[in-house]
Amino acid sequence: MKDGLVCPVLLPILLILLIDGGAILRTPTLRPLDGSKGLPMKMPENTSAYVWGAAVGAIALAVVGFGWGGWVTGGTSTKTAATAAADAKVAALAPICADRFRAQGDSAVKIAELTKASTWDRGNVVEKSGFAMMPGSKTTDSDVARACAEILANPPTPKT
């Protein structure tokens, strides 16, 4: 069970069993409206097997669905969507930052300083330069700065 939640399929089954107290497995009786005793309702003898089969099938469906079927909870899908959005933002803004960094007058000297800096400090160098701040933004994005520094320090080699 992911994120400490009870599977959505198991919760209704558990609630029914707790509230019902096993009355599903007992033979119900049909009573007339006037309150007198009526004839007992005839249930097939293998009804208990059907109920247990449905319960086991629901549990198996939940295990297979969440384990191997790719089902996720709402919290997991929200985290995945947020991560994908942040990655897409960095992938879109890092080349813009690199182009703005290269467009400055002494870009060759600045790129040489950037490559001399440690790999851990390169993002800070780009952040301090101000090129990681996008138009309309008031702060720099450290993820964009790191990706921009990576592009600048390791330029792509042309394919032959």
115/98 same-domain check: yes
Taking the whole predicted model, whether its pTM rises above 0.75 is answered as no
Question: Each residue of 35-75: pLDDT tens digit?
Answer: 666 556 676 777 888 888 999 999 999 999 988 888 998 99
Query: Does 159 map to a domain?
Result: no
Structure tokens at 30: 């049909």
Spatial separation of the C-alpha atoms in residues 136 and 35, rounded to whole Å: 76
38 is in which domain, residue-wise? 2-67
**Number of other CB atoms surrounding residue 152 within 10 Å:** 22
Structural domain total, the chain? 2
Question: Each residue of 127-136: pLDDT tens digit?
Answer: 888 888 888 8
52/101 same-domain check: no
